Amino acid sequence: MSDGSETPQARKGGLWGGRFSGGMAPEMEPLNRSLDVDRRLWREDLEGSRAWARALGGAGVLDPDEVAALLSGLDRVSGRLSGQFPGDAADEDIHSLVERLLREEAGAVAGKLHTGRSRNDQVSTDFRLWGMKAAGDLEAAVAGTVGGLVDLAERGMDVILPGYTHLQQGQPVRAAHWALSHAWPLLRDAERLRRAGASASVLPLGSGALAGCPFPVDREALARELGFTSISENSMDAVSDRDWAAELLFAGALLGVHLSRLSEDLLLFSSKEFGFIRIGDGYSTGSSLMPQKRNPDVAELVRGKSARLTGGLMALLTLLKGLPTGYNRDLQEDKSIVFDAVDTLALVLPAMGGALRSTEFRPDRIEAARDTELLATDLADVMVRAGVPFREAHDHVGTLVRLSEEGGVPLSDLPDQTFAEVHPTLGDGAARAAFDWEKSVEARAAPGGTARARVRDQLDAVRRRLDHRTDA
Ligand code: ARG
């Protein structure tokens, strides 16, 4: 090779050895090196490099033969990178590795590819390309998990669950309504992920190190070729703008919070004390000591993983907070944070979707757990329908609840006479008629309520959102 690899530093830091006389300190090298993390960007790095070679050709910086030599060299580099990964300890990052391999494949012309380009606009471009794809993949994975909730909701249409506020029984709801209450947050997360992907879709390439590119490259054409929606407007901003990554991490962190809350419900509902659901064997584990144990680990693992997602968002915001204008090497840290969040979500979303599909309701246990106090509001509504002001009705039912507690009888089992004494509108069996689970849920028929028709509307709406996504 006649490419100037004679000085040790040029070999070690192939992209910038010229101004140095000594080698890098052995303690510095592992800190400096990011190849183990950014090797995941190799496809994007090649894609960006191909587009840049053509852009330099278009700008008259390279002649057509040079462009062709670079493109075929990059193809061979692609072949090498898709096999046994060729990086070694002397390769600093994916950009220097690609350039070294290109020099091996294409010879001296490789040295022309970096004209007008910096690793600062290069890494920003690679990372955005990766982020655009990752956001789309995650959005699809969220849709899969929502599909699991739809599946569970179908099984919960005829099951009437105690609905909770303050973790105390409040009013009855269809189990389907509860399941879908977790679908809507996830659909909002999917939309946030989509928007984060759109934020990433701004081309930084052509910004150089910070001041812009001195050659007349067609940045709009570059953007189109690489699939970006627009080009960055300010080169100094472009090399350090990681807003899209923060947005992606926020979308992921909130998604983690939502999955964690869903997990908490699943854990509670699958406990001996509640027993409302049974998560499939495939998502449960046993204990090495206690033979009877059947642990809903899937939900605990998902709840646990959500901590990393919140942490990642905090880490990136903290990383960005004190940076002066322009690229700073701190930014090398951004990738492991985002990769970790995306990997974490790619792990938990399918597991949660599968767990939901495997989950069965246990109507016997649910019925046994329902206290007729859940229908206290319906009892008040009987009076309201007879013209009693709600506040007054609330008070009367409060008295009845106290009497039932004092007498140690369920609210629904108080004698007819007691109902009539507390308020005449509750006499003649009127109170008794309020103690009907089906009637209670069917009464909530305003849009967004738990009546069957409204839950059907919801299911249709969720399915439309999922179909719309697959159309897109
Ligand atoms: N590995 C670097 C990163 O991830 C690439 C950019 C390096 N730029 C530089 N001026 N050293 O950010």
Q: What is the mean pLDDT of residues 185-200?
A: 98
3-state secondary structure 250-318: HHHHHHHHHHHHHHHHHHHHCCCCCCCEECCHHHCECCCCCCCCCECHHHHHHHHHHHHHHHHHHHHHH
Average pLDDT value for the chain? 95
Contact 191, 243 (CB under 8 A): no
Closest Cα to atom 7 of ligand 1 = 119
Instruction: Between 288 and 449, name the one with better pLDDT.
Output: 449
Q: For residue 82, give both structure tokens.
A: 């898709």
The predicted structure's pLDDT at residue 472: 56
CA distance 95 to 45: 7
Q: Mean pLDDT over residues 115-144, rounded?
A: 98
Task: Find the angle CA(373)-CA(376)-CA(381) to the nearest 5 degrees.
Answer: 165
Map tokens 């849920």 to a residue.
441
Report, as an integer, the average pLDDT of 338-351: 98
Query: From the CA of 346, how far away is ligand 1's center (Å)?
Result: 27
What's the alpha-carbon Rg for the chain, to the nearest Å? 31
Does the pLDDT value for residue 374 go beyond 70? yes
CB 99 within 8 A of CB 14: yes
Residue 56 has pLDDT above 50, yes or no: yes
Average pLDDT over residues 136-142: 98
Backbone phi and psi for residue 34, each to the nearest 5 degrees, phi listed first: -125, 10
Among protein residues, the one whose CA lies closest to atom 12 of ligand 1: 332
Active site residues: 166, 287
Write the residue with the smallest CA distance to atom 11 of ligand 1: 329
pTM score above 0.85? yes
**Residues near 450 by Cβ (< 8 Å), separated by ≥ 6?**
163, 172, 173, 174, 177, 441, 444
Rounded distance, CA 133 to CA 447, Å?
A: 36
Domains of the chain: 10-115 (1.10.275.10), 120-368 (1.20.200.10), 372-435 (1.10.40.30)
Span 308-337, pLDDT tens digits = 999 999 999 999 999 999 999 999 999 999
Identify the residues whose C-beta falls under 6 Å from ligand 1. 34, 38, 93, 119-120, 123, 327, 329, 331-332
Instruction: Answer yes or no: are the C-beta atoms of 117 and 222 closer than 8 Å.
Output: no
Asked if 277 and 266 count as a contact pair (C-beta separation under 8 A), the reply is yes
Strand 202-203 to 168-174 pairing: unpaired
- pLDDT band of residue 202 (cuts 50, 70, 90) is very high
The region, left, alpha or beta by phi > 0 then psi within -120 to 50, assigned to residue 227 is left
CB 400 within 8 A of CB 430: no
Strands 277-278 and 230-231: unpaired
Q: Which residue has the tokens 């006499």?
A: 427
Q: What is the pLDDT of residues 392-431, one digit of tens each?
A: 999 999 999 999 999 999 999 999 999 999 999 999 999 9
Choosing from 35, 37, 332, 337 the residue with most ligand 1 atoms within 8 A of its CB, the one to mutate for a pocket test is: 332
